[in-house]
Amino acid sequence: MTGPTTRPEYRSFDALVTDVRDGRVGPDPAQQQVTVGFVTRQGARHVTRGRGYRNHVLSLRVGAAVGSCAVEPDELPDDVAYACVGRSVAELLTHPALPVRVAALDAYLLTVRPHLDAADAVLTVPAGTSLAKSTARAAAVVDLLPCAPGQTVLVVGVVNSLLEQLRRRGLRYLPCDYAGGRTEWDEDCLPDAQALLGAADAILASGMTLGNGSFAPLLAHAAATGTPLVMFAQTGSGVLPWFVGSGVTAVSAEPYPFFWLDGGPTPLYRYRATP
């Protein structure tokens, strides 16, 4: 790892896409081709946990980099991934499906600025069971929150291991999830994160917010109020660091293959705003 490089700070996803398309970020995206497209479907229920979950992730490869965007189960047919193969990043940045645009941008930016060259630090999630790895990853993510016991964290994209770590630290939380449902502790997952922004001392949000269009209001609120916004990113791990310092406080970036795909050690890349 060579250490962090200077990162321009963007204030909107659309502005970043525009600069990429206009060739202001790196190589001409019209000359960068998607060579592999695939979908990962995963179901998990950790030992001792009462609830399971599913992941459905679109991934596109450009050069040596794989960009990803998680979607709701069955939101996109697998044929979407196959249709992306052989097309340029420039073409896919105008695709009607936002998750395709996110995955293509993610792959492109990871070729322009690989995590090993740009991240402020790299951590390792140790080898272990699915629960052990989930717990270790959650602890590393929650460590990025600048919060004291008793404060309230708005969690956008419910992951029970993250909620468990917040509970261990004496932090209150408001669990929000686009799909609804209930937490491991039988709490309602609230559907409208925007309505709760004013009640939060900090925001902990999934990179999935990029793919469902809910990232922009979180970023705008954090930038306007100074509320800490920490992103845990499998979706858009190469995209979200470009917002650090312009509303995003920190990013835990985890490119494909994710911790839940491998029982061995896997990396997490950390980005933090300069104090």
Q: Categorize the per-residue pLDDT at 4 as very low, low, confident or very high, splitting at 50, 70 and 90.
A: very low
Residue 269 CB partners (closer than 8 Å, separation 6+): 115, 116, 119, 121, 122, 123, 237, 252, 253, 254, 255
Retrieve residue 22's tokens: 């206009």
Q: Give the angle subtended at the CA of 253 by the CAs of 153 and 33, to the nearest 5°.
A: 135
Q: Which pLDDT tens digit goes with each residue over 67-107?
A: 999 998 888 999 999 999 999 999 999 999 999 999 999 99
pTM of the model: 0.93
Q: How far apart are alpha carbons 61 and 108 in whole angstroms?
A: 9
Coil, strand or helix at 204: strand
Q: Report the candidate in 210, 207, 184, 203 with the shortest Cα–Cα distance to residue 258.
A: 207
Q: What is residue 179's predicted lDDT score, i.e. its pLDDT? A: 78
Q: Which pLDDT tens digit goes with each residue over 251-267?
A: 999 999 999 898 999 99
Q: How far apart are alpha carbons 19 and 267 in whole angstroms?
A: 29
Q: What is residue 2's predicted lDDT score, i.e. its pLDDT? A: 41
Q: How far apart are alpha carbons 42 and 56 in whole angstroms?
A: 6
* Peptide bond connecting 146 to the previous residue in cis, omega within 30 degrees of 0: no
Q: Which pLDDT tens digit goes with each residue over 127-137?
A: 999 899 999 99
10 Å Cβ neighbour count for 180?
11
Q: What is residue 46's predicted lDDT score, i.e. its pLDDT? A: 58
Q: How far apart are alpha carbons 274 and 120 in whole angstroms?
A: 10
Q: Which pLDDT tens digit goes with each residue over 138-186?
A: 999 999 999 999 999 999 999 999 999 999 999 999 999 987 888 889 8
Is pLDDT above 90 for 1? no
Are 179 and 70 a contacting pair, CB within 8 Å? no
Question: Of the CATH numbers 3.30.390.100, 3.40.50.12780, 3.40.50.300, 3.40.50.2300, which one belongs to the domain with range 13-114?
Answer: 3.30.390.100
Domain ranges of the chain: 13-114, 116-272
Of residues 273 and 4, more confidence is placed in 273
Q: How far apart are alpha carbons 145 and 217 in whole angstroms?
A: 19
Q: Give the angle subtended at the CA of 174 by the CAs of 169 and 177, to the nearest 5°.
A: 120
Question: Of the CATH numbers 3.40.50.150, 3.30.2000.10, 3.40.190.10, 3.40.640.10, which one belongs to the domain with range 116-272?
Answer: 3.40.640.10
| Tokens 């660091």 found at | 241
Left (φ > 0), alpha (ψ -120 to 50) or beta: where does 186 sit?
left
Q: Which pLDDT tens digit goes with each residue over 9-45?
A: 799 999 999 999 999 999 999 999 999 999 998 766 6
| Tokens 């193969």 found at | 85
